[in-house]
Structure 1
Amino acid sequence: MSALSTVVVVTWRGRDHITACLDALAVQKSPHRTIVVDNASDDGTAALISGHEVVRLPRNRGYAGGLAAVLDMIDTPYVAWLNDDAVPDPSWLTELENALEAEPEAAAATSSILLTDGSTQSVGVALTADGHGKDVVLAGREVFGFCGGAALLRTDALRAVGGVPASFFCYYEDTDTAWRLRLAGHRVISVGPARVRHRHGASTRPGSKLFHRWNERNRLLMLLRCAPAAVATTQLARFLVITALLPFRGNVPDAANFRLGLRAQVLGEVLLRLPATLWQRLTIRTEVPRRRVWQDWAGR
């Protein structure tokens, strides 16, 4: 039986966890191709993955950059995104493939991602009232977006909506892609039986300065690319006003995303990317109006 899917595993310094991921892929019930993208690891990861199909990048391009680097190499109908610290059940890929085969209007299927203690991390992504992407732990069949840590996408649909936003580095590349799929008229579904165990934060440190920098910057860039203009400009203005008022406020939350220096850096990076981002906005296919997607999904 020929493979329907290519699983892309992006790694960076994954020595302590990538073997479990690749061992789990080796016993999947569905035949598939696996590509490991090594973001110039320098910790011995290269030796552990040497027996697999590896694309080694000359520098760390992040999760989004790694996915984007190999999209042109995919020759299967489906492409799976899988974190290197995720361990899928043997039927994981089969469940995702069967779900997309049964629902041709869906362009992406998201997994049940469980933490190592058995609790649920994500069964999909919701769009909040202020434009954040938020993991949800209880959902129906359809969700706004997929969690990029373990998902299956139609390769042609992904290419048609512009691929992966490589410049995001990491975080929000999945929610941005879900936005563009929905604007093109596609659906995203949640597949409960497609389970993976995830060592959350093994590759990046949630709560760190870099984590908040990427999250805040990429949320704003995503909205500027995909959301209704009024929503995008309101959220950018809100971020700017909160940043400007921080020196005059008392009881500022003790979190990295409320530090003046980080927020100023985020604003600088967004403004630097603004011309290219607005051009990208013009090129995004919009079979469904931005306003309708927002009204259907924001704050649900």
Structure 2
Amino acid sequence: MTGPLTRSTIVVVTWRGKDHVSACLDAVAAQTRPHRLLVVDNASDDGTADVLATHPARPEVLRLPANAGYAGALAAVTVVTEFTAWLNDDAEPAPDWLAALEDALDQRKEAAAAGSRMVAADGTVISLGVGLTADGHGVDLVDEAPVFGFCGGAALLRTEALRRAGGVPARFFCYYEDTDTAWRLRLANHTIVSVPAARVVHRHGASTRPGSRLFHLWNERNRLAMLIRCAPAGVAAREVARFAAITALLPLRGRTGRRPWNFRVGLRLRVLRELVASLPQLLRERKAVTDLAETPRSAVWRAARSPISPG
């Protein structure tokens, strides 16, 4: 539904979502606030296109010629409304979800993004937002506490603030595009809020396989790329060096069973190769982030490491 009071575009990204995207669209259709609904189909080949074409919500659909990942799909859309909502195709927001997020950003003018309460089907909290660990990993927070960023599976952003901060990092494909965006919004002197009242049931991993080889490849690569782009130089250099050192030492350790993918030398070497190949581009992107920043990287990092960080 759209009209003069439509302030938000809800962007649902799907890939092979035939079995679950209908539930997501049903939940979006039940929202109490007017919105534009845009579904980005990452070249699904499982009948998802037919589901989208026949769904009663009649969503606007952008079908990409190839799978661009979650980040690439978000980067491919043009939004002109005041707010942009990111929503996974395996997420089902409560009817007042969008209203709660819009109200939160209306109440916090300095905030550029608002995250949701993401829960499993049994009500277990999956995420109330994202924090940063000492080594720069993004971690889902399950207690109501100040957050550094938001989980990109269900969040609302100010469209203009996102644009001014450089948009979505399409090169990430999947994972860490949300934490990278949070970094850049905070460097632009914005805050980010958690909105526990904005409840979303999430079928975590319906589209991707947490713990799989690709999951760990994208996570490890994108964390380091994010730090090179956004973090203080010392933090980025330390974490890249640490990753390389651990990789070099792994063959010297005796095998104690099958290692998780992120501690297998082959995967880690691929991460390093991809990082080295993309380093010139990442450094150019770092300069662009610097040119847009209004707050020093060191100040954002210190605040993120503090229990009283703003947001």
TM-score range, shorter chain: over 0.9
The 2-side partners of 1:117 and 1:95 are apart by 22
Q: Which amino acid aligns with 1:67?
A: L
Aligned twin of 2:26? 23
Q: What is the Cα deviation at residue 244 of structure 1?
A: 0.8
The 2-side partners of 1:10 and 1:59 are apart by 13
Gaps of at least 5 residues in structure 2 are none
1:28-47 matches, within 5 Å, as: 28-47=31-50
Establish whether residue 93 from structure 1 lines up as the match of residue 98 from structure 2: yes
Aligned twin of 1:186? 190
Worse-matched range after superposition: 175-184 or 286-295? 286-295
The 2-side partners of 1:298 and 1:39 are apart by 36
TM-score (norm: length of structure 1): 0.97
The 1-side partners of 2:298 and 2:185 are apart by 15
Establish whether residue 295 from structure 1 lines up as the match of residue 306 from structure 2: no
Partner SS state of residue 139, structure 2: strand
Q: What is the Cα deviation at residue 2 of structure 1?
A: 1.8
Aligned residues of 1:131 and 1:298 also touching (Cα < 8 A): no
Partner SS state of residue 254, structure 1: coil
Aligned twin of 1:271? 276
Aligned twin of 2:244? 240
The 2-side partners of 1:18 and 1:266 are apart by 32
Q: What is the aligned-residue identity percentage? A: 62
Establish whether residue 153 from structure 1 lines up as the match of residue 134 from structure 2: no
Q: What is the Cα deviation at residue 41 of structure 1?
A: 0.2
The 2-side partners of 1:250 and 1:286 are apart by 46
Aligned twin of 1:67? 74
Q: What is the Cα deviation at residue 251 of structure 1?
A: 4.7
Which contiguous aligned blocks of 4+ residues in structure 1 show a shift greater than 3 angstroms? none
Worse-matched range after superposition: 246-255 or 107-116? 246-255
1:188-207 matches, within 5 Å, as: 188-207=192-211
Q: Which amino acid aligns with 1:117?
A: D
1:104-123 matches, within 5 Å, as: 104-123=109-128
Summarize deviations over 1:126-146 as a string: whole Å, max 9, x none.
010000000000123x41000
Worse-matched range after superposition: 113-122 or 247-256? 247-256
The 2-side partners of 1:172 and 1:49 are apart by 27
Aligned twin of 1:49? 52
1:200-219 matches, within 5 Å, as: 200-219=204-223
Summarize deviations over 1:26-59 as a string: whole Å, max 9, x none.
0100000010000000000000111320000000
Aligned twin of 2:253? 249
RMSD: 1.0
Partner SS state of residue 49, structure 1: helix
Equivalent position to 2:141, from 136, 139, 142: 136
Gaps of at least 5 residues in structure 1 are none
Summarize deviations over 1:225-254 as a string: whole Å, max 9, x none.
000000000000000010011111125672
The 2-side partners of 1:251 and 1:298 are apart by 34
The 2-side partners of 1:223 and 1:108 are apart by 20
Aligned residues of 1:128 and 1:299 also touching (Cα < 8 A): no
The 2-side partners of 1:56 and 1:299 are apart by 42
Q: Which amino acid aligns with 1:296?
A: A
Partner SS state of residue 212, structure 1: helix
The 2-side partners of 1:235 and 1:53 are apart by 42
Q: What is the Cα deviation at residue 204 of structure 1?
A: 0.2
Establish whether residue 78 from structure 1 lines up as the match of residue 90 from structure 2: no
Q: What is the Cα deviation at residue 100 of structure 1?
A: 0.2
